[in-house]
Chain A
Amino acid sequence: MDQDFTKKGWNKRDKVILVAAIGVSLAILPHLMPNNYWLRIYTMTGLFVMLALGLNVVAGFAGLLDLAYVAFFGIGGYSYAFLSSNHFNIHLPFLLVLPLSAFLTMGFGFALGATSLRLKGDYLAIVTLAFAQIFKLLLLNLDRPVNITGGVNGIYNLDSINFFGLRVESPVAYSYIIWFFAIVVILGSFRIKKSRLGRGWEAIREDELAAETMGVNTTWMKLLAFAAGAFIAGASGTLFASFQESVFPNNFDFPQLVIIYCMVILGGLGNIVGVVLGAILLSILPEFLREYGAYRMMSYGLILIVLMALRPQGILGEIGLFTKGKTRPDKDGTGVLRASTDLYYSEREQIGQLGTPQYSMTDRPILELENVTMNFGGLTAVNDLSFTLHEKEILSIIGPNGAGKTTLFNLISGIYPPNSGKVFFKGADIAGLKPHQVVEAGIARTFQNLRLFNNMSVLDNAKVSQFPRTKSGPISILFHFPRHKKEEMETEKIAKDMLSLFGTRLTGYRFDQKALFLSYANRRRLEIARALSTSAKLLMLDEPSAGMNPQETIEITNFIKKLRDLYGYTIIVIEHKLNVVKTISDRVIVLDYGSKIAEGGYEEVANNKQVIEAYLGRKRN
């Protein structure tokens, strides 16, 4: 019903015109350059576009502050110097060295990622900076006792590019070669960004823990980001070395890194078009300000400070310059204004479609906890807890604040490994698995204090959590293999289906809205839809009705029942609103100070003396 009006972007004719325009300008531009000096700047601009987009993968998509990036550029450069020059008297052909050095650099990227994976933010930045410094010190000092790097003097007289014996020497030809690779990187960036990998990275950038609990293998993805960035930097380094026909330690030093960062930030972290423009702008602009050359690096510092203070999202930012006509946000595809509380009607339609309820209580346990204990220092948050959950059962966990309810969820979902005890899911012990493995096994959760990927669209939020189901790798994505296309279509369909479960609240124009702009209740709904989009059949909902008004609470209560009755989910829910608990629970477990103090039907538990004491305190004798 809402296929057409949410479609945005370019139609086929626009695309053809755009491709033709870019192709023609790339063919003509080198010939328009007034002299070799400007031709060189034009070529270097292409190189910087590549470099900036490589950094954009690490810092923009995945949000990792990688300050060793320039060292990867250097590794690529020196690889070419070692393998195609008189320095070691090795003269491998360019077409062999390029992939060789790109993959070698990628290996270094993996290694750096693997050693610094556990670090975040500042610490990651400083460790990568230390790596870059070590690299530079090695470049400067490895000319003695054996001359490897050439020290300060670098290595010169490198071979020029050589295609099967055909030497490329004209500057114009060089500009074609480098811009060809720049275009390849631009196209690749677009494809990766719109894939499961791009979404996975963005999710990590937004909220690493939430990404992990939605099934994204964050460890692997961060490694991949480092490796991908290094791959592009390595290839750029090789191109640069062959273009300059020499390499010096200064080419790969901190100021270069800052320039590349400025390009990425000016364009907006993660914004591909912006980053390309940023790279072009900062390659050309300084040439017009040559007389103020001394102030150039100073101005890069100022650019960073001012942008961060005033416009951290970059020059393009949220201006929808390259996203075409969105419909007015208060209308859906039919053009009719609709109130957002027409859930009731759509619900009736859906029930009609889905047929009769499948629910029947079975005795098969799906989740079993055996003597699970979790200590934080001296505090025992969960104490020797055991319980069983049956398939298609709704179990409520209640208890006063600090009773250990959320810790229990964190234990089951793998955020903490329990200090002792076992967690069986479908017969297999899942205690100690990582969160993304738990999701893959079939348990999904929501968070009490909402951990959506705020700067991603509603639809992408629901797509991220299908990460474990989909398997396309970088190659499949870059070349648009059929498997990737099929997976993308499935992903889109599942995400839309799950979002449609809430009537029109999360559909239509809202697909493309950032999660940030949703109302509070809709954010809670999106959290649930996101969890539903994983293939998990066991849901753990942490206070799904918190902050909702009475009307919304009734809706969500019915919705939870519907999830079980109609779709066969098994549900554990933490709730404070006792009328919700009363309505939905098959069974209730009461926690206090990490221990189970009561278990049974709602009425039974509600009249338990210990429970009343835990909530209200003891009567004075």
Chain B
Amino acid sequence: MEIYLQQLPQQLVNGLTLGGVYALIAIGYTMVYGILSMLNFAHGEVYMIGGFAGWWVLYLLSRGNVPIVNASLVISLMLIIAMAITGLLGMTIERFAYRPLRKAPRMNLLLSALGVSIFLQNMVLTYQGAKARFFHVSSLIPESIRVFHIGSVVLSFMRILVIVVAFLLMALLTIMIKKTKVGKAMRATAQDTEAATFMGIDVDRIIVLVFLIGSALGGAAGALVGLLFTQVDYYVGFQVGLKGFTAAVLGGIGNIFGAMIGGILLGLVESLATTFFPATYKDVVAFVILIIVLIFRPWGLMGEKIPEKV
């Protein structure tokens, strides 16, 4: 037991980092679900492509694993380009795979999403290969600030970066949704798409915007994870995507702030679980949580049950 207590602060820090990433992904799921009531199966692949985009930026800006420009510029460009590419990708997916099916049965939409997921995953496999790509980040950060020791806790610069960027992006999104006119339109559309149309809101544009923002955040998460765990391959989107969805469900799907909290919660639980279970089973823990929550509290940990209207 003592050893667990000793590990606890470290696991909390690890959990918070992971949680920030899950939260960013969960937001993408929850925003789309809030407006279209659909599970965007392809979101995990968007995250994966964000990781690849980040890798390419780093690769192109490095010579012999050493960046040729300022390191902070490299990291910023990685994030910005990853977000731009995934944002565009999200819009494209919406336009071609989901919009034609908006009035179709839900099952068709879900199958189409499954198709997008398979397509993207195998596209990356085909053109980028099955081998994992490594992020050579060691030369990005000067050795002096690479790792901090606070008591028994080891805190790497990258962890701090991930936490800061993730929370910054979430704060920006919160401001946008709470304070701006577009944010208000989004909330209205999520509550009642038809009524929003009657009030003069261009629902199509809002949906495109939701895909843009959600996917860009997923892409940012992909690039951040690349910096943190220094590798990406074509298959990562599947499991991480499923976890992002778990986080969204934990917080009550459709609820953006719930997704943030759900993501952090899942990250913490998973980190703590690794102290009790072999690391290979930490994914099993996440999926068991997903199953239990969906079966017993499908409206989330915080949300309220709404009786089905007949």
Q: Do A and B come from one complex?
A: yes
What is the interface of chain A, defined by CB distance below 8 A to chain B?
Answer: 63, 65, 115-116, 118-119, 121-123, 125-127, 129-131, 133-134, 137-138, 140-141, 209, 254-255, 258, 261, 265, 294-295, 297-298, 300-305, 308-309, 312, 376, 410, 415
Docked Cα-Cα span, A415 to B309, in Å, equals 10
In the A-B complex, the 6 residue pairs with the smallest Cβ-Cβ separation, listed nearest first, are A304-B115, A301-B119, A301-B118, A297-B122, A122-B39, A308-B112
Q: Find chain A residues with CB under 8 A from B239 CB.
A: 133
CB–CB A376/B307 < 8 A: yes
Q: Does B64 contact A (CB under 8 A)?
A: no
Q: In the bound complex, do residue B310 and residue A410 qualify as a contact, i.e. CB atoms below 8 Å apart? A: yes
A527–B239 CA distance with the chains assembled, in angstroms: 46
Report yes or no: A305 in contact with B96, Cβ–Cβ below 8 A: yes
With A133-B287, A309-B112, A410-B310 known as contacts, the answer to whether A301 contacts B126 (CB < 8 A) is no
Closest to A130 in B: B287
Binds A, one of B6-14, B70-78, B103-111, B177-185: B103-111
Q: Which of B104, B107, B109, B118 has the most CB of A within 10 A?
A: B118
A410: chain B residues within 8 A (beta carbon): 310
Contact of B38 among A122, A130, A140 (CB under 8 A): A122
Whether A308 pairs with B281 at a CB distance below 8 angstroms is no
Q: What would be 18 A-B contacts, judged by CB atoms less than 8 Å apart?
A: A65-B111, A116-B294, A119-B295, A127-B294, A133-B239, A134-B287, A137-B281, A255-B118, A261-B114, A297-B125, A301-B116, A304-B115, A304-B118, A305-B112, A308-B97, A309-B97, A309-B112, A312-B108
In the bound complex, how far is the Cα of B289 from the Cα of A134, in angstroms?
A: 12
Q: Which of B38, B106, B107, B242 interacts with A133 by CB under 8 Å?
A: B242
Using A297-B118, A301-B115 as known contacts, say yes or no to A309 and B101 having CB atoms under 8 A apart.
yes
Contact B290 A126 (CB under 8 A): yes
Is the CB–CB distance between A308 and B242 below 8 Å?
A: no
**The residue from A126, A265, A300, A309 contacting B39, defined by CB atoms under 8 A apart:** A126
In contact, A115 and B111 (Cβ under 8 angstroms): no
Closest residue to B107 on the A side, CB-wise?
Answer: A65
Using a CB–CB distance below 8 Å, which chain B residues touch chain A?
38-39, 96-97, 100-101, 104-112, 114-123, 125-126, 238-239, 242, 245, 249, 278, 280-281, 283-284, 287-288, 290-291, 294-295, 298, 307, 310
CB-nearest residue of chain A to B246: A130
Closest to A129 in B: B242
Look across to chain B and name the residue whose beta carbon is closest to the beta carbon of A255: B118
What is the bound-complex CA distance between A415 and B310, given in angstroms?
Answer: 8
B104, A116: Cβ atoms under 8 Å? no
- Least distance between B64 CB and chain A CB atoms (Å): 31
Q: Which residues of chain A have C-beta atoms less than 8 A from B104's C-beta? A: 308, 312
Q: Please determine whether A258 and B287 come into contact, CB atoms closer than 8 angstroms.
A: no
Determine how close the nearest CB of chain A comes to the CB of B120; give it in whole angstroms.
Answer: 7
Chain A residues with CB under 8 A of B290:
126-127, 130
Minimum CB–CB distance for B117 against chain A, Å: 7
Task: Tell me whether chain A's interface is mostly helix, strand or loop, or mixed.
Answer: helix
Q: In whole angstroms, how far apart are the Cα atoms of A130 and B126 in the complex?
A: 26
Known: A303-B115, A410-B310. A127 touches B123 (CB 8 A): no
With CB as the reference atom, state the residue of chain A lying closest to B115: A304
Bound: A181/B81 CA distance, A? 54
The answer to whether A137 and B280 have CB atoms under 8 Å apart is yes
Give complex CA distance A294, B238 in Å: 19
Whole-angstrom CA separation of A63 from B111 in the bound complex:
12
Would B298 and A123 count as touching, CB distance under 8 A? yes
> CA–CA, A396 to B47, complex, Å?
59
Count chain A CB atoms within 10 A of each CB in B96, B107, B120 and give the residue with the most: B107
A125 & B122 in contact (Cβ 8 Å cutoff)? no
Task: Enumerate chain A residues within 8 angstroms of B118, measured Cβ to Cβ.
Answer: 255, 258, 297-298, 300-301, 304
Contact A127 B295 (CB under 8 A): yes
Cβ-defined contact, B295 with A301, below 8 A? no
Residues of B within 8 A of A126 (CB): 39, 242, 245, 249, 290, 294
A538 to chain B, nearest CB (A): 20
Distance, CA A301 to CA B121, complexed state (A): 9
How far is B234's CA from A297's CA once the two chains are assembled, in angstroms?
Answer: 13
Of A65, A125, A308, the residue contacting B115 (CB under 8 A) is: A308
With contacts A297-B122, A308-B108 taken as known, whether A133 is within 8 angstroms of B114 at the C-beta atoms is no
> Is B126 touching A294 in the complex (CB atoms < 8 A)?
yes
Closest to A449 in B: B310
Indicate if the CB atoms of A258 and B114 lie closer than 8 Å: yes
CA distance A265 to B249 in the complex (A): 28
Given contacts A127-B295, A297-B118, contact A134 B288 (CB under 8 A): yes
Shortest Cβ distance from A138 into B: residue: B284
* Additional 6 contacts, C-beta under 8 A, given A126-B245, A138-B284, A298-B118: A118-B295, A137-B283, A140-B280, A261-B111, A297-B122, A300-B115
Query: Which residues of B sit under 8 angstroms from A115, Cβ to Cβ?
Result: 291, 295
Contacts of A295 in B (CB 8 A): 122, 126
Residues of B within 8 A of A137 (CB): 280-281, 283-284, 287
- Among A127, A129, A209, the residue within 8 A (CB) of B310 is A209
Residue in A119, A121, A127, A298 whose CB lies within 8 Å of B122:
A298
The reply to whether A127 and B291 form a contact with Cβ atoms under 8 Å apart is yes
Query: What residues of B have a CB within 8 angstroms of the CB of A118 in the complex?
Result: 295, 298
Docked Cα-Cα span, A118 to B292, in Å, equals 12
Name the A residues within 8 Å of B295 (CB-CB).
115-116, 118-119, 127
Cα–Cα distance between A129 and B290 once the two chains are bound (Å): 10
